[in-house]
Structure 1
Amino acid sequence: MTRNTEISLRGVYDSLVARLQEVHYLNSVMGILHWDQEVIMPPGGGDSRAHQLSTLAGLSHDKFTAPEIGEWLTQLESAPESEFNDVERCNIRETRREYDREVKVPRQLVQELAEMGSRGHHIWVKAREDNDFASFAPFLEKMVELKKQWAHHIDPNRPAYDVNIDVFEQGFTMERIDPVFERLKAELVPLIAAIKDSDYKPDTSFLQGHFPLAEQKALGQHVIRDMGFNFDNGRVDVSVHPFCGGGDCTDVRITTRYREDNFIESLYAAIHETGHALYEQGRMQDQKALPVSEALTTGVHESQSLFWERMIAQQQAFAQRYCSLFAETFPEAFRNVDAHKAYEGINTCQPSFIRVEADEVTYPMHVILRYEIEKGLFDGSMQVQDLPRIWNDKMEAYLGIRPPTDREGVLQDVHWSGGAFGYFPSYTLGAMMACQFYKALEREMPDIRDHIASGNFKVIKEWLNRNVHSKGKLYDTDTLLKQVTGEPFNPSPFIAYLQAKYTAIYRLADQQAGR
């Protein structure tokens, strides 16, 4: 290769990087607008916000799908392997993947989806407040149809739902997810039933009462600061549905929500979203506006939030660390509560209507229910108008409870209002990955519980930064998991973890032996 050719290829790569950075910053603006919409925007701004997001989505789409992007990629892909390093090749590879998808979608459809997603948020909020699924149903029907059209443009030869899943979970399809979820149902439904029938119930009385919001806020900020959240590059607010968003890794915004009768919900929502935020803040700083730095998949992102929420904050060592702070913050409720009692109470298993309030044993059933409904909507075996009944029937079959209202049932989640079909599986796939990651950490640091009990979360954050956050999109999910844990995606550790933990908490082995 001649010197002129080398310079030319480097120039082409630099041109691609400059364009990708432009698109990134446009998308960052949309991220801030989405955050604003859910946190502080006045209700009357909804119509203008929909047009703003639609306009920006169109501009971003135009810049990213311009013909020169395809020409640059073709030139770069013809270069010798040695021409670019691993990071640069990842940027080229991921741009090609996204470009091939986006260039197939008409600009008008991109804008319509962005506008519908913005309007849909407000339609959903009002329908949820009014417990009125009928007012949300026409929008949902339209959104499903648009996402089917979108998927058909991208790949008419694949099931539309698989195309939607691929946005969030590259490498996973219905064919791969189905047997995993069927196994979960087979293992967890009996475990949930055994827990329900257990004679032993952890004391949760200290988790009920009046918990002033100011104290809850202070407690949450204390804990997430201990976890390593950088407030110079982030902030915490309140929203209807807790989330992590913002501009990029230098401006990460998380939200929680508060109930005066339940401080655990807000605290653990904050811990969960901080897990997401630490992933974002731990990304490659020098590549922050480029694909290689982005989170690998939604499932891997969820693995980080659930790693902190479930694997760290729901173990006894965490209760040992914070039980005295809980008692200092809420002295009436926590009088005579020790760390073990706090641990068992926080880990109580009780089927509930609301997904985000569900414990780690019943949570996967909430996800499986939504996954099965989304499959039905996309293959035509389910109709939107039937969803309240289908939802309630599945809740009764899987968890033994039936939602009394649609607000506590089919209307509870924000995802469908934004067209995020295929997202829900990532929550449970992420929980399984989190368990794999924690087992690897435990092998590497056998004294990890001592670190947690002493509040030394720095070693955990640095381990995650090194092994997961800084890897971005360099590897696919199975390769990353194999590098960190020694094996690709595997649900077995998660199932074994739940069975062992809750058999102990609910004394199931003792009761089975006594029968």
Structure 2
Amino acid sequence: MSALADLREVLFEVSDLHQAAELLGWDQETYMPAGGVADRANQLGTLSRIAHERFVAASTGRLLEAAESEVSGLADDSDDARLVRVTRRDWDQETRLPSDLVVALAREGAISRPVWQEARAKGDWALFAPRMRITVELAQRVAEAIGTTGRAYDALIDLNEPGLDTAQVEHLFSQLRDRIVPLLRRVQEHSDRVDVSVLSREVEPQKQLSFSTRVVERLGYDFGRGRQDLSAHPFCTSFGIGDVRITTRVKPSLREGCLFSSIHESGHAMYEQGISPVLARTPLAMGTSPGVHESQSRLWENLVGRGRPFWQHFYPQLQEAFNGALNEVGEEEFYRACNAVEPSYIRVDADELTYNLHIMLRFEIEKELLEGRLAVEEVPEAWAVQVKEYLGLEPPSGVEGPLQDIHWTQPMLGGFIGYALGNVIGAQLMERARTGLPQLDAQIAAGDFAPLLGWLRENVYLHGRKFTPQELVQRVTGRAIEAGPWIRYVEGKFGDLYELN
């Protein structure tokens, strides 16, 4: 066998271990009894340690070095060349992480989760603060172990979004903020243009679940290779191209957005289901990055699911499915309500225009924590200041502040920026898709989502993790990641919705 073939066998084993851990994580969020936390922490820690040690072994390094020689003559974008290149990047990063740190990260994630749940229920940051302090310390250890010639946050960004750094993200966020905040103020001056009261109506949760299942299946989510369950925080997880699962949450009020949660997670899932089978069980068999992954969930949720063509097709079906609850509500009225701009304390409830501001807030706080300029105990106060500056809202209650997100229990910093990058990249990809699909709006209005899904599969999904975010966006759109398409999109959409022009 060649060195590359031997390397693949190692990567297959490591992938299997990671996916087994993912299955345990999915179970913890859906069906595991509360008493299983300690055992689950040990199980996840053991699997993470074995996978890490197998991957960073000296023998794996020797196979990788030999494989690099074997693929040196291949085209740079070939599957084999990219597999070796990405494996080298991962191997270099992971060999810098000691096994005890890998185990600590896995164990702390399982231990921190129930503490966060209790603190969130009580609105008590002080209860979660000791675990958050450990999260910051672990993130600092990871950044130090990986190393960087720049800022510590650069190392964490590179883990998630290879090729990007803190300065680039700051520049992108500055461009967004300079256009979002003035637009938000103008929208607020015309808030009477949109009536959101229809979303206060209640519909039986099972009816909402059934309709959301029908919608995501129509979009292209393959239930033969997936399922939808309930969880406190909606998510998507993949155990392989043939088993990609989503969860959602549902309450009687339509304002809670069960449908949009399902569409969002199905966007993630369709990405995973669309990866080339040739890449299965390798480091390439996943999304390019969290930001690119989020571009797909938000593309389907917002650019498709909150668009007029979507509701031209689905609104009559929604009225029928909800047994008359919306019979006297017109399609345009419902569309406008679903796109209303209402600054909110809660990120997952944020409207399309203000969502990026929530991410910028978290980005600033994480940088301050990681670089030692902010103490964990000071997070609620810093949060309140940013909420006032960005969103114009008074200081939030405990549950509406820094305890609202599950992410800091993972435990790691640096993951939030992917959400804002997702908005930006999604708009850039959609703008390009429209040039190749000139009848896209008419196709969506007719309930035909296959052309868009096919375009995304060919240009994005199929490649898995072969390319960095910048490389992928450059290949597809001909330009680097930029704020312009998203800014044009929101200024056009909300200018029309609120009659600003």
Please give the range of the TM-score, normalised by the shorter of the 2 chains: over 0.9
Over the residues paired in the alignment, what is the CA RMSD in angstroms?
1.5
Please state if 1:435 is matched with 2:424. no
Tell me how far apart the structure 2 counterparts of residues 48 and 356 of structure 1 sit (CA, whole Å): 30
Identity of aligned pairs, percent?
Answer: 35
Deviation for aligned residue 1:143: 1.3
Find the partner of 1:318 among 284, 301, 310: 310
Please state if 1:486 is matched with 2:478. yes
Find the partner of 2:443 among 448, 451, 471: 451
- 8 Å CA contact 2:157, 2:414 repeated in 1: yes
Aligned to 1:220, what secondary structure does the other structure show?
helix
Deviation for aligned residue 1:293: 2.8
Aligned to 1:268, what secondary structure does the other structure show?
helix
- 8 Å CA contact 1:38, 1:239 repeated in 2: yes
- The one-letter amino acid of 1:23's match is V
CA separation of 1:236 and 1:32: change in aligned 2, threshold 3 A: same
- 8 Å CA contact 1:314, 1:346 repeated in 2: yes
Summarize deviations over 1:229-260 as a string: whole Å, max 9, x none.
11111110111111111412211111111111
Deviation for aligned residue 1:420: 3.2
Summarize deviations over 1:319-357 as a string: whole Å, max 9, x none.
111111121122444122232222111100000111111
Specify the alignment match of 2:375 in structure 1.
383
Identify the range of structure 1 (404-413 vs 150-159) with the bigger mean alpha-carbon deviation: 150-159
Aligned to 1:81, what secondary structure does the other structure show?
coil
Deviation for aligned residue 1:263: 5.6
Please state if 1:25 is matched with 2:16. yes
Tell me how far apart the structure 1 counterparts of residues 122 and 272 of structure 2 sit (CA, whole Å): 35
Identify the range of structure 1 (217-226 vs 181-190) with the bigger mean alpha-carbon deviation: 181-190
Please state if 1:34 is matched with 2:21. no
Tell me how far apart the structure 1 counterparts of residues 177 and 71 of structure 2 sit (CA, whole Å): 49
Tell me how far apart the structure 1 counterparts of residues 80 and 20 of structure 2 sit (CA, whole Å): 25
Tell me how far apart the structure 1 counterparts of residues 83 and 317 of structure 2 sit (CA, whole Å): 45
User: What does 1:253-272 correspond to in 2, within 5 Å?
Assistant: 253-262=245-254, 265-272=257-264
- The one-letter amino acid of 1:444's match is G
Aligned to 1:291, what secondary structure does the other structure show?
coil
Deviation for aligned residue 1:401: 1.2
- 8 Å CA contact 1:293, 1:470 repeated in 2: no
Aligned to 1:367, what secondary structure does the other structure show?
helix
Deviation for aligned residue 1:497: 0.9
Find the partner of 1:339 among 331, 335, 344: 331
Please state if 1:74 is matched with 2:74. no
CA separation of 1:301 and 1:199: change in aligned 2, threshold 3 A: closer
Tell me how far apart the structure 1 counterparts of residues 82 and 453 of structure 2 sit (CA, whole Å): 25
Specify the alignment match of 2:497 in structure 1.
505
Aligned to 1:237, what secondary structure does the other structure show?
strand
Deviation for aligned residue 1:83: 5.7
Find the partner of 1:413 among 392, 405, 423: 405
Specify the alignment match of 2:197 in structure 1.
205
- 8 Å CA contact 1:28, 1:248 repeated in 2: yes
Deviation for aligned residue 1:203: 2.1
Summarize deviations over 1:81-118 as a string: whole Å, max 9, x none.
33688111111111111111111111111101110011
User: What does 1:9-408 correspond to in 2, within 5 Å?
Assistant: 11-79=2-70, 81-82=72-73, 86-155=78-147, 157-198=149-190, 200-262=192-254, 265-408=257-400
Tell me how far apart the structure 2 counterparts of residues 288 and 420 of structure 1 sit (CA, whole Å): 27
Tell me how far apart the structure 2 counterparts of residues 396 and 386 of structure 1 sit (CA, whole Å): 16
Query: Which segments of 5 or more consecutive residues in structure 2 lack a partner in the other structure?
Result: none
Q: Return the TM-score normalized by structure 2.
A: 0.97
- The one-letter amino acid of 2:202's match is H
Give aligned pairs, total: 500
Identify the range of structure 1 (200-209 vs 139-148) with the bigger mean alpha-carbon deviation: 200-209
Summarize deviations over 1:465-511 as a string: whole Å, max 9, x none.
111000122222223212222212111110111111101100112xx
Identify the range of structure 1 (353-362 vs 76-85) with the bigger mean alpha-carbon deviation: 76-85
Query: Which segments of 5 or more consecutive residues in structure 1 lack a partner in the other structure?
Result: 1-9, 510-515
- The one-letter amino acid of 1:203's match is D
Tell me how far apart the structure 1 counterparts of residues 380 and 71 of structure 2 sit (CA, whole Å): 56
CA separation of 1:418 and 1:80: change in aligned 2, threshold 3 A: closer
Tell me how far apart the structure 2 counterparts of residues 203 and 329 of structure 1 sit (CA, whole Å): 23
- 8 Å CA contact 2:245, 2:269 repeated in 1: yes
Summarize deviations over 1:397-451 as a string: whole Å, max 9, x none.
1111135422111100000011231111111111111111111111111110011
CA separation of 1:176 and 1:199: change in aligned 2, threshold 3 A: closer
CA separation of 1:129 and 1:264: change in aligned 2, threshold 3 A: closer
Tell me how far apart the structure 2 counterparts of residues 332 and 392 of structure 1 sit (CA, whole Å): 42
Tell me how far apart the structure 1 counterparts of residues 223 and 493 of structure 2 sit (CA, whole Å): 34
Specify the alignment match of 1:6 in structure 2.
none
Tell me how far apart the structure 1 counterparts of residues 71 and 170 of structure 2 sit (CA, whole Å): 40
Q: Return the TM-score normalized by structure 1.
A: 0.94
Deviation for aligned residue 1:79: 3.5
- The one-letter amino acid of 1:282's match is G
Deviation for aligned residue 1:31: 0.4
Identify the range of structure 1 (392-401 vs 270-279) with the bigger mean alpha-carbon deviation: 392-401
- The one-letter amino acid of 2:63's match is W
Tell me how far apart the structure 2 counterparts of residues 482 and 405 of structure 1 sit (CA, whole Å): 43
Tell me how far apart the structure 2 counterparts of residues 501 and 430 of structure 1 sit (CA, whole Å): 18
Deviation for aligned residue 1:58: 0.6
Summarize deviations over 1:348-405 as a string: whole Å, max 9, x none.
0000111111111010000000000001101111111011111111111111113542
Specify the alignment match of 1:496 in structure 2.
488
Tell me how far apart the structure 2 counterparts of residues 290 and 80 of structure 1 sit (CA, whole Å): 16
